Amino acid sequence: MSTPSCVKSGGHLIFAALLTFVGTPVQAQRPVSVELDGLGTWTHFDESLDFKNRFGASGGLGIFFLKNVAVEGDVSYTETHLKSGLPGDFKYIPIRARLAAHVPLGSSYSRLILGAGYVAARYRESLHETDDGFTGLVGLKLGLSRHFGLRADGIIDYMPSPFNESPTNGSDVHFTVRAGVAVLLGSYPPNQDSIRADSIQRAERARAEQIRLAEQARADSIQRAAQARTDSIQRAERARADSMRLADSLRAAEQARSDSLRRAGQIDSMQMREMLERRHSLVLQGVTFEFNKSRLTLNAQKVLDFVSQSLAAQPEAKIEVAGYTDNVGSAAYNQRLSLARARAVRAYLIQHGVPAEQLTALGRGESDPIAPNTSDEGRAQNRRVELRRTN
């Protein structure tokens, strides 16, 4: 059945009033706040429809243009069927628009909500009908903070000329109860009680925060002191351990150096015995000198200690000590340097028990290289001292 034009006209008048309200000049209004609602619903349908009362869901939007006054709109969705059990599934979708007064309750953010407006009730699935009517609302919002609260509403939807109108049924009335959450984007214009309550709450929160920060600072200070003490002990232990490791490392390095020199001397001693028997030249590995000087290094002295023992054990052998250089510098300079180095080796061996008449020193200069003088490695091999038996 079609909806009478008087009901449609009434609905149009309500929408016109809403549009007039929305069109009020901005300078005469407070800054806009928006409320979003999400609620569960339970709907009691008019008995004439024979619909089973069912639960559903609803979403709403409210826009505050005046202090404590909002334009609200919401849509609900409920699926139901006939009580009689006859075939048929129905979807009830009421679309509502209303003016709502949000009356403050004391010093809290809670509000008593009173509203009235227009509803377009849509029936879908097995039906495809729309009823126009009037809606009223009484609700309560429990404000948990300035921007968040719990909301519960009771709604009555009155359809003066429903699609199922008959001689015995001139109107439909549906009752809906809903509850859920409300989120305010913006804030209500505060009243004096709210301002005072907010000021007290802020002061209490600030005091509690100061106490918390002071306690935290004290705990942090104690923790830092304990940590610093622990770190100091750990650093001292690490330094001690590092010192012990360094000492062990130095001892190991010195031992390795001594072992290496002893092995080098032993090898030279064995090669010297072979040289004494077969009468060929022997290069003294490890016998080195300070740069551009004839002064023996400490390593060279330790090698010669082993060599002197072998020579002293063969007093009948006559030994030639020959010094050699690389080709860096003039030939005359290298000749003098090689002779000085050979004499230094002879003098050291004599000091350590080898008879003087057993040894002669010769300088060979840069002659007879055993490696090319084109590289550092080759020149190092050519800077050498050789022993040779002459008898």
For the beta carbon of residue 70, count every other beta carbon within 10 angstroms. 22
CA–CA separation, 21 and 23 (whole Å)? 5
Q: pLDDT-derived band of residue 264, with 50, 70 and 90 as boundaries?
A: low
pLDDT, one tens digit per residue, over 325-361 is 999 999 999 999 999 999 999 999 999 999 999 999 9
Six token digits for residue 57: 């869901």
CA–CA separation, 190 and 195 (whole Å)? 6
Mean pLDDT, residues 241-252 taken together: 86
pLDDT of 368 > 50? The answer is yes
Q: Which residues contact 16 (CB under 8 A, 6 or more apart)?
A: none
Torsions phi, psi for 189 (to 5 deg)? -60, 120
pLDDT, one tens digit per residue, over 310-328 is 888 888 889 999 999 999 9
pLDDT given at position 199 = 78
pLDDT of 30 > 60? The answer is no
CA–CA separation, 222 and 156 (whole Å)? 65
Q: pLDDT-derived band of residue 145, with 50, 70 and 90 as boundaries?
A: confident
Set out the domains of the chain in order of their start, with CATH numbers.
Answer: 5-195 (2.40.160.20), 262-389 (3.30.1330.60)
Residue 344, CA distances (Å) to 144, 281, 328, 353, 384 in order:
102, 19, 21, 15, 13
Predicted model pTM = 0.46
Residues in the chain: 391
**H or E, element range at 80:** strand 69-81
User: Closest by alpha carbon to 346, among 324, 363, 325, 361?
Assistant: 361
Which one-letter DSSP state was computed for residue 195? Answer: H
User: Closest by alpha carbon to 175, among 110, 266, 249, 94?
Assistant: 94
Percent of the chain with pLDDT over 90: 55
Averaged pLDDT of the chain:
85
**H or E, element range at 155:** strand 148-159
Region of poorest pLDDT, from 90-94, 150-154, 287-291, 364-368: 287-291
Region of poorest pLDDT, from 27-31, 88-92, 272-276: 27-31
Strand ranges (E), 126-212: 129-143, 148-159, 172-185
User: Closest by alpha carbon to 116, among 147, 153, 150?
Assistant: 153
- Give me the helix-helix angle, 331-351 and 298-312, nearest 10°: 60
Torsions phi, psi for 20 (to 5 deg)? -65, -40
N-term to C-term CA, the chain: 145
Amino acid at 4: P
Which one-letter DSSP state was computed for residue 85? Answer: -
CA-CA-CA-CA torsion for 240, 246, 252, 257, nearest 10 degrees? -160
Strand partners, 33: 64
CA–CA separation, 289 and 295 (whole Å)? 5
